[in-house]
Structure 1
């Protein structure tokens, strides 16, 4: 989250568009602006383009990248737009296709799309291990071909959660059994549909999506900030 916000703060450019804001889609079909809405700043509109938050002037002559900060309370108005642009409906996730692990009262919920041979997934597991009162739904997501068979073997084991932890954390290979019905291909299709093009893919219960390693501290910061 901090890296994402820092990137937004440091990124800036202006591109001439020369089109009325309503005519952008017609005159510039390659510029796919979505979710156009007014901002607090008169004459400036927010939009998303390729999943990224951008700003447009009323005349449709400029496209701007960066964060909009409200000075009176130092609120980053772009941050909420970023969250919404990356939001996924939690209730639509097929949680029955994931390995469920509960710690403490399981109050917080988080879904992880993980490849057993992904080093950042292995690093993330150590962070997850330090969290309290959390329910982790692990979607086996073998985007590397070499990871497909062990992912199936994990799912088909007598205790998928225990077998997964042994594999991802201790590199203990699962039992040689991959003949059961498993959701591996469905997970790969799901991840592609959700735009998870790398691992680990992380989805919070408010629908916020993140790709890549994230620390325990940052996970807890999201929980606290959004009350989830």
Structure 2
């Protein structure tokens, strides 16, 4: 069972390290946690948290905290009371960020509306209900270029539909016919596609659910995001 230590107790523990000793301590904490959590859990990194005596631990794609001995694991959010800033949330957003240039447009279904000046990448599974809901909402956007990367993660049928969509004469039309109008894709599914590359990208960047959206600043929005939030994000990028 994971033990929890009160934040107040951790704040009271103050530990000072020099550069090398500090790095050694982080590696020791990481090793200790990895040993206790087991091989099924990947401890990616350990670094000092903004609170003295507290360490930020990246486990998979999530942030948790521990003490200097690696004895306790703390799950929750760190809030800076003076400003109301959610430090954990901000760090999580930074960890989830990608480089827009890492995306390969050649692997996506591209759709340009209006002047196409605003750019958005969407990772989608054709059998994902939330993806269908999102696609209907995205119809409200104008002056946008949308890159849709198919990642069939839900079922073998998702892979089949993805191939049929990408192998069609007009992949965007085939995709929208299915996602918005409910017209099942048909035809060949034996052409060369980018599905393997898209799946590899998703694995590398921890995209485990659909839909997942990315903006040009690299920020990640998971789930069927409201159109108002998408417009708000676009406005912040100007």
Among 159, 171, 180, the residue aligned to 2:191:
180
| C-alpha displacement of 1:22 | 4.2
How far, CA to CA, are the matches of 1:40 and 1:15 in structure 2? 17
Max Rg structure: 2
| C-alpha displacement of 1:130 | 1.9
* Residue in structure 2 matched with residue 14 of structure 1 by the alignment: 4
Q: Secondary structure at the match of 2:47?
A: strand
C-alpha change, 1:37 and 1:26, in structure 2 (3 Å) is closer
* Residue in structure 2 matched with residue 87 of structure 1 by the alignment: 97
Contact conserved, 1:21 with 1:59, CA < 8 A, in 2? no
**1:10-159 superposed matches below 5 A:** 14=4, 21-30=26-35, 31=37, 32-143=42-153, 144-159=155-170
TM score, norm. by length of structure 2: 0.75
Contact conserved, 1:36 with 1:48, CA < 8 A, in 2? yes
How far, CA to CA, are the matches of 1:103 and 1:59 in structure 2? 55
What is the number of residues matched between the two proteins? 212
How far, CA to CA, are the matches of 2:67 and 2:235 in structure 1? 34
How far, CA to CA, are the matches of 1:124 and 1:67 in structure 2? 29
Structure 1 residue runs without a partner (length 5+): 1-12
TM score, norm. by length of structure 1: 0.78
| C-alpha displacement of 1:175 | 4.9
Q: Secondary structure at the match of 1:155?
A: helix
How far, CA to CA, are the matches of 1:109 and 1:47 in structure 2? 33
Among 165, 170, 177, the residue aligned to 2:181:
170
Across the aligned residues of Structure 1 and Structure 2, the Cα RMSD in angstroms comes to 2.7
| C-alpha displacement of 1:25 | 2.5
Among 169, 185, 203, the residue aligned to 1:192:
203
How far, CA to CA, are the matches of 1:208 and 1:220 in structure 2? 14
Q: Deviations over 1:157-215 (max 9, x none)?
A: 22222221112100123352334322223323332333323322323333333443222
C-alpha change, 1:60 and 1:117, in structure 2 (3 Å) is closer
The answer to which of 179-188 and 135-144 deviates more is 179-188
C-alpha change, 1:153 and 1:34, in structure 2 (3 Å) is closer
How far, CA to CA, are the matches of 2:103 and 2:137 in structure 1? 23
C-alpha change, 1:33 and 1:115, in structure 2 (3 Å) is closer
Q: Does 2:226 align with 1:215?
A: yes
Contact conserved, 1:142 with 1:151, CA < 8 A, in 2? yes
